Amino acid sequence: MKRLLLLFLSMMKIGLFTFGGGYAMIPLLENEFVSKRGWIGDEEFFDMVAVAESTPGPIAVNMATYVGYRVGGVVGAILGTVGIVVPSFAVIFLISLVFRRFIAVAWVAAAFRGIRIAVVFLIFSAAWRLFKRLPKKPFPLTVFSLVTAAATVLSLLAVRFSSVWFILIGVGLGLAAYLFALLPRNRRGEGDK
């Protein structure tokens, strides 16, 4: 019971202090549940990010649900999801009540400009941590390089290209590499018979 309460409070804290969406949340989740509490291993966290990104829904909610399930089963998944969503919902609801007056305040506008810079850093930090854990093999490095180059070129040229296509292309390349790796085994198996 204590672990579930700690999970819920940790998710609320992360949900309350994260600006910039799910990618900015990755370092906070990693620090809280991998480094600090040890509830999830490094490799499992890396896999969780990949699954959370490629499944429908916001990455932050998907990750919170996964962590919650891993820590406390179905009840943990519910508490993790609610814990990550409630702070954002409450803050957005309160801001929506007074948005025009709120955004017109000079120090609030300056704070939001500063937050944007911090969000870019958090997203870059998450990408760097994930890259460091990437297996240093030809296929993952090639896919990473191609996706990074394509994303950079498309961003610089202001071409709209949905991230869904990057995910689908990555899935296709991963399946192709897996099937290609199976080919020699199948041929060896036939030759042994």
User: In this predicted model, what pLDDT tens digit does every residue of 150-193 receive, in sequence order?
Assistant: 777 877 777 777 777 777 887 888 788 778 877 765 554 555 54
Tally the domains of the chain. 2
Neighbours of 53 (CB within 10 A): 17
pLDDT of residue 69: 92
Domain that holds residue 9: 1-133
Same structural domain, 18 and 76: yes
Burial (CB count <10 Å: 0-12, 13-18, 19+), residue 66: buried
142: confidence class by pLDDT, cuts 50, 70, 90:
confident
Same structural domain, 43 and 85: yes
Same structural domain, 94 and 62: yes
Same structural domain, 161 and 122: no
Same structural domain, 3 and 88: yes
Domain-terminating residue out of 133, 151, 175: 133
Token match 């460091």: residue? 132
pLDDT of residue 82: 94
pLDDT tens track for 118-138: 777 777 777 787 777 777 888
User: Measured between alpha carbons, how far is 135 from 96 in angstroms, rounded to an integer?
Assistant: 44
